[in-house]
Structure 1
Amino acid sequence: MSATVFVTAPRLGQAGVRTLEDAGSRIIYLPDGGGRTEVEEIMASEAVDGVISRTVELSAAAIEASPRLRVISKHGVGVGNIDVDAATARGIPVFTTPGANAQSVAELTIALMFNAARRVSWMDAEIRAGRWSRAQDGRQLAGGTLGLVGAGQIGQRVARTAAATGMRVLAFDPGFGLDSPVPELAMVGSLEELLGQADVLSIHVPLSERTRGLIGAPQLALLPADAIVLNTARGEVIDEPALVEALRSGQLFAAGLDTTWSEPMEPGNPLLDCPNVVVTPHVGGSTPAALEAMALAAARNILGCLEGTPPDARSCVNPTTLSIERSNA
């Protein structure tokens, strides 16, 4: 098979590159610094069969400009940067790579939890500034309750680690109901029930119209006093001004965030003025191991679809297109 695969980034993990090249594919990359405009230009000028989408926007204009395009695979799970409606209108399936970066994201979640609970980043900054400021109000996590919003592969890994530290772990996820996917956590029947018990609240759901703004001021008010909020999913799931107010007022003890409303964060973002916040630049899935796994999974998604053997429909965000794809194969 000879196909052209466009990667909307300057590079791709070697596992993905080898898989595509072994199948005879031609790979083209987005140049360093390229954005939406450059993506649209490449899609219009090159005969692209498949796209591996990284973080740059894949717009309706880009999708419509590529008559040969047959499949899109997200290098990860969040498809907020892809115009899925435009792809669906053309019968183009959009796949994700669920689980490929789950361990790395889970590990960063745990790191943010410990950092926020013990104020590690704040004390480090104080020492570097010449002040021997010893935080006396750090939180011991053992004996507390971790509440997970979402019990997928990332949430399950977080649950295992947190349980090993002596935490009780609860989760709310309509997809599982009250049937726990792993023994380390117990499911609850509503978000409100979860919030009322969560000394630490951790977000692990994709961004959708249902989850956008899911955690706002009313939900934050249900948390126990001095709770910690973690978000390694998507920034828009939490009402950011409400989070800032809860942190400033002392309603929350701290927050650990890998995702925010605006990325990169603007210099005037009020979160940066909160000393009880630790922030990382959306790198949960950016370890070498996770990047290799996502590259390989994305390449397999592309090749499977082009070769007439689509991947598991559960990894397709617009599965109605799969019957169209099969009929055109």
Structure 2
Amino acid sequence: MTERVIVTVGIEFYGQQPARDLLERAGLECIRRSGSPGWPDDETREYITGMQGILAGAEFLNASTMDHTNDMRVIARNGVGFDRVDLDYCTERGIIVTNTPGSMADAVADLTFALLLAAVRHVVAGNENVKAGGVYDVPIGEDLASLTLGLVGCGHIGAETVRRARAFKMPVLVEDPWVDPQRIRDLGAKPVDRSRLLAEADVISLHLPLTDESANFVDAGFLSAMKPGSWLLNTARGGLVDEDALIDALTSGHLAGAGLDCQATEPPEGRTKDLVALENVVALPHCASKTATARKAMSIAAAQSIVEVLGGQEPEFVVNRDVLKKLDLQPRT
């Protein structure tokens, strides 16, 4: 029987047809369906029925959406984040979950600096002034070389962000206990603990995954310890930030501003809507990876993981590595 894969991301719309070709060359039946973060669980349950693999977008994949199917073997996230996938449940069921680290690193690092420049040089305000025919001016900004950048997290995206910061002549501090300090030094940055990061960085940029442990990582205590007049950047996940606390820090003047590619509620509702409406916030619609190059690389990497798992081989990027103990897959060489 031909194994079936459901694709819920827009492969055709970003020059990503090679990913679909890869699946079909492996003899897999590729079924296309566009997804969105707002899909109800009953629709998700319906479209994954009878599937052995899913090239997954933003849908929730957990017990409530998957308990009816015994066929699923691999969930390949088209991206780095996996906060919408219940890893414990998948591990228990023997379902491999993969992601695509590195494939979007350049795109996200680029957008991190787009947000940084927009925030510290008041790009949005200047654009609006010119278009409105108003005052031909903007508030005074800052040279990037005069600012110290602090990163929380130094994986693929964090490392590329450091490289860009060094090109802008910015000193860089990094907090990441999981990365060898020498690797951080080799990038041209300085490994530090959190207290020093918060006290010395003029800009703090988040580059860590959203998990149960990291939810509201940036809380009132974190924000109050940040340097007065500093900026916060988030191109990772909205759930990392306590938005009530961030609103307080921005409206009180403790923080100069924020650049947010992601929010707790997308599209914005409630307090998220209040946050993105602030004049000192630059907000984007979770589009950091939305370049043709990144999306193509992401989808090909995800498709390759599916081909490997359904072909009996261990894939390269397994998120729930404990599941491998339950499966008889050919190890990677």
2-side partners of 1:239 and 1:113: how far apart? 20
Q: Which runs of 5+ in 1 are unaligned?
A: none
TM-score w.r.t. the length of structure 2 is 0.92
* 4+ runs deviating over 3 angstroms: 9-12, 31-34
In structure 1, the residue matched to 2:201 is 198
In structure 2, the residue matched to 1:294 is 298
1:240-277 C-alpha deviation (Å, 9 max, x unpaired): 11111111111111110001100111276111331011
In structure 2, the residue matched to 1:321 is 323
1:19-52 C-alpha deviation (Å, 9 max, x unpaired): 10111111112246682332211223xx211111
CA contact (8 A) 1:145 1:168 kept: yes
Tell which deviates more after alignment, 263-272 or 231-240: 263-272
1-side partners of 2:154 and 2:20: how far apart? 32
1:164 aligns with 2:170: no
Q: Which amino acid aligns with 1:7?
A: V
1:125 aligns with 2:128: yes
In structure 2, the residue matched to 1:270 is 274
In structure 2, the residue matched to 1:17 is 20
Cα root mean square deviation, aligned:
2.0
Tell which deviates more after alignment, 79-88 or 92-101: 79-88
In structure 1, the residue matched to 2:6 is 6
Q: Would you say how many aligned residue pairs link Structure 1 and Structure 2?
A: 324
SS of the residue 2:319 aligns to? coil
SS of the residue 1:297 aligns to? helix
Q: Which runs of 5+ in 2 are unaligned?
A: none
1-side partners of 2:18 and 2:225: how far apart? 45
SS of the residue 2:149 aligns to? strand
1:39 aligns with 2:44: yes
TM-score w.r.t. the length of structure 1 is 0.93
1:62-108 C-alpha deviation (Å, 9 max, x unpaired): 32222111111110111111222221121111111111111101100
Q: 1:141 to 1:32 in 2, by over 3 A?
A: closer
In structure 2, the residue matched to 1:306 is 310
Aligned ranges 1:156-235 → 2 under 5 Å: 156-181=159-184, 182-188=186-192, 190-235=193-238
Q: 1:117 to 1:207 in 2, by over 3 A?
A: same
Q: 1:228 to 1:4 in 2, by over 3 A?
A: same
SS of the residue 1:171 aligns to? strand
2-side partners of 1:237 and 1:39: how far apart? 26
1:262-320 C-alpha deviation (Å, 9 max, x unpaired): 011127611133101100000111111111001000001111111111113xx222111
CA contact (8 A) 2:147 2:170 kept: yes
Percent of aligned pairs sharing the same letter:
36
Shift of 1:175: 0.5
Shift of 1:124: 1.0
CA contact (8 A) 1:94 1:317 kept: yes
Q: Which amino acid aligns with 2:219?
A: G
1:52 aligns with 2:55: yes
Q: Which amino acid aligns with 2:47?
A: I
In structure 2, the residue matched to 1:137 is 140
The partner residue of 2:289 within 276, 285, 290 is 285
1-side partners of 2:113 and 2:311: how far apart? 40
SS of the residue 1:263 aligns to? coil
Tell which deviates more after alignment, 75-84 or 250-259: 75-84
Q: Which amino acid aligns with 1:92?
A: I
1-side partners of 2:45 and 2:213: how far apart? 29
Shift of 1:9: 3.4
CA contact (8 A) 2:2 2:27 kept: yes
Shift of 1:177: 4.8
